Structure 1
Amino acid sequence: MSTTHAERSPDALDAGIALVRPALRAAVRDYLSHETELVAGYHHGWSDEQGRPTEEWSGKLVRPSLALLSARSTGADPADGVAAAVAVELVHNFSLLHDDIMDNDSARRGRATAWTLFGVPRAILAGDALLAAATGVLLDSGKPGAGTAANSLATATRRMISGQAADVEFERRDDVTLDECLRMAGDKTGALLSCACSIGAELLGAEAELLHRLARFGEHIGVAFQLVDDLLGIWGEPERTGKQVLADIRVRKKSLPLVFALNEGGSDELSALYHGSEPLDEKQVHRVAELVERAGGREWTHEELARRVAGARECLEHDGLPRSVREELLEMAAFLTDRRF
């Protein structure tokens, strides 16, 4: 199978990995206690549960790579944005440690999740320690915008937590509106991506208009990423997604295509099936997917995805943004949103 543009790793990711990985490990070592460092090191893939070194793995480092591009948007060397890149990745991993517990997930990328090996309390505390370290990394950077960047990261973190709380609440409700679901996606997924796209420039004291455009770009891409994820959760190919076919329907997830269909064009049959309490059998799962598509859920999601991607592109139409940075940001956007489904 040939590799598409969106399936290739953007150059910005390779550059981000080279700059951020050693700084990320140093931050975990310097800001965490021995007990929390052990859990965090395992979670990042640097060590096993005994603390013995393993093959280095830190995920794709998408958010740090965006933060480095953000720093470059000011004309600075990407190395000047490393503190911002590390901080946003620490927050991301704080959320992953806690998410694994909330979702009762026993594996992440082929390894046992931290809480299953170290216990829930230690995993929670390691996540808390990463969050606290993120602020320390920014404030200790000595950069001109350290204080405002730390405040922006805190705001993004509060939004992310608010979105996660809404997502949990939606599991208990049958009256979730499309506006609520879009707001939840913007908070849960878009907030930290938005921050990643602007925090490097903010750390270096960039002007307000550039920061606004970069943040809006990231917000659009974050929601677009969630839209793609929701499409894949229903209509994705298992060999690509790693999920069971129609996975989101099986667990009655309040994903955007479903919420659109239930609110805008759904039938009584769809509502009865999706709001029921008994597990859906195979016939019912496929029937829900059919009803969602018939109600326009799939078409609307594709259209909203196109609107978000177009909006992201418009945000980068700024005279002060170097052309090379704009092109690399668009390449990252394609990498995140142009997945096959």
Structure 2
Amino acid sequence: MDAANVIRSNSLKYQQNGAGFSPAALYASHKNLVEAEIQRFVPEGYPVSLYQPIRYALTAGGKRIRPVLVLLATEAVGGTTARALPAAVAMELLHTFTLIHDDIIDRADLRRGHPTIHVKWNTNTALLAGDALIALAYKSLLKTATPRLPEIASVFTKALSEVCEGQASDTEFEERMRVSFDDYISMISKKTGAFIVASLWIGALIGNGGDDEIAALRRYGEALGRAFQLQDDLLDITGSETSLGKPVGADLLEGKKTAPLIMALKRARGKEKDLLQSIVRRGKAYPREISRVKRLYEKLGVLKDIQHIIDESVREANSELLFLHESNARRTLRWLAETLARRTC
């Protein structure tokens, strides 16, 4: 089932159970708010060599998950969307910074089917665009009208530090022969999970949520971030180049140790283990090896078992929502976790 059908199917289920309410429609509405505010906030400005690539990165597509989570968390604890919009934009700007710099580190040619900034322009331009996005993110965050702004800024900065730590660990893993599954989960909790948790945490602070509500949303975010990254890992090997916007098996081609490879290395024996270890030793897979590795993953039950972890993580995330009052925002958070875990891109 493709992404559009997953969204439509899940949203229909909620309409049938909730007097016509559509989580997909609320998500789309919030996403449109964020898009419009980004366009308004980010200048076309001078020098063109800086702002043109920034706007290119921001208009290259994307689900806008993190900013929408800010808005939904604010609403879920009784706050208003308008007050949370500057912080929502800030999260997307900061996330975009990480994508630009990740692409440099990974030497990636494509992002969402488009040339990456360091390819379309050059590495120096990409570095400066990423750096400027950090400044723009803080500029937007500081427009948040709340007495809890110092606490929000602290959460925002903590998340930025953790993402950098996670990226450093991910890069370090490329040089290590052995990485445990626990090490990997710890890394993705920072590299991927930190911004997801921060988005919910900041949204709850803006909405003046109670301690129990904030804690529940943070735990929801931790489980959601884990499910989201593991699903990314599966899609890298099971998706299509058209839907992914990059080559199938890109993680293997770039020498990344993701969940399927780590799990398969532990289970494989004989020639199968030799194949995986040779990929690790040389620091990348050859394109001709991708289909063989996929078959090996299937044989070892790796893809099935990671899907099970994803499903358990979604259940864990949604159980935390029971600490919140029933609302359309809460229902959309539940729908979002289920939808992200079944996406195809």
- Normalising by structure 1, what TM-score? 0.85
Separation in 2, partners of 1:10, 1:337: 15
Query: Does the C-alpha gap of structure 1 residues 177 and 22 become closer, same or farther in structure 2, counting only changes over 3 Å?
Result: same
Aligned to 1:315: 320
Amino acid at match of 2:108: D
- Structure 2 residue 301 is the aligned partner of structure 1 residue 296: yes
The 5 A counterparts of 1:152-301 are 152-263=155-266, 265-276=267-278, 277=281, 284-301=289-306
Aligned to 1:48: none
Deviation of 1:164 after TM superposition, in Å, equals: 1.3
Equivalences, count: 328
Aligned to 1:44: 58
Query: Does the C-alpha gap of structure 1 residues 136 and 30 become closer, same or farther in structure 2, counting only changes over 3 Å?
Result: farther
Taking only aligned residues, the RMSD between alpha carbons, in angstroms, comes to 2.8
Aligned to 2:63: 60
Q: Which digits, 9 at most, give the CA deviation of each residue in 1:246-272, with x for residues without a partner?
A: 454444431112212223x22243332
Separation in 1, partners of 2:292, 2:130: 40
Query: Does the C-alpha gap of structure 1 residues 70 and 32 become closer, same or farther in structure 2, counting only changes over 3 Å?
Result: farther
Separation in 2, partners of 1:250, 1:124: 23
Q: Are the counterparts in 2 of residues 67 and 199 from structure 1 also a CA contact under 8 Å?
A: yes
Query: Does the C-alpha gap of structure 1 residues 242 and 131 become closer, same or farther in structure 2, counting only changes over 3 Å?
Result: closer
Aligned to 1:107: 110
Q: Any stretches of 5+ residues in structure 1 without a counterpart?
A: 46-56
Amino acid at match of 2:52: L
Separation in 1, partners of 2:220, 2:46: 33
Q: Quick one: higher RCO (CA 8 Å, sep 6+), 1 or 2?
A: 2
Counting aligned pairs with the same residue, the percent is 32
Deviation of 1:325 after TM superposition, in Å, equals: 1.4
Aligned to 1:17: 31
Q: Are the counterparts in 2 of residues 114 and 123 from structure 1 also a CA contact under 8 Å?
A: yes
Query: Does the C-alpha gap of structure 1 residues 157 and 285 become closer, same or farther in structure 2, counting only changes over 3 Å?
Result: same
Separation in 2, partners of 1:31, 1:216: 40
Q: Which digits, 9 at most, give the CA deviation of each residue in 1:228-286, with x for residues without a partner?
A: 111122233445434545454444431112212223x2224333222224575677544
Deviation of 1:185 after TM superposition, in Å, equals: 1.5
Aligned to 2:331: 327
- Structure 2 residue 343 is the aligned partner of structure 1 residue 339: yes
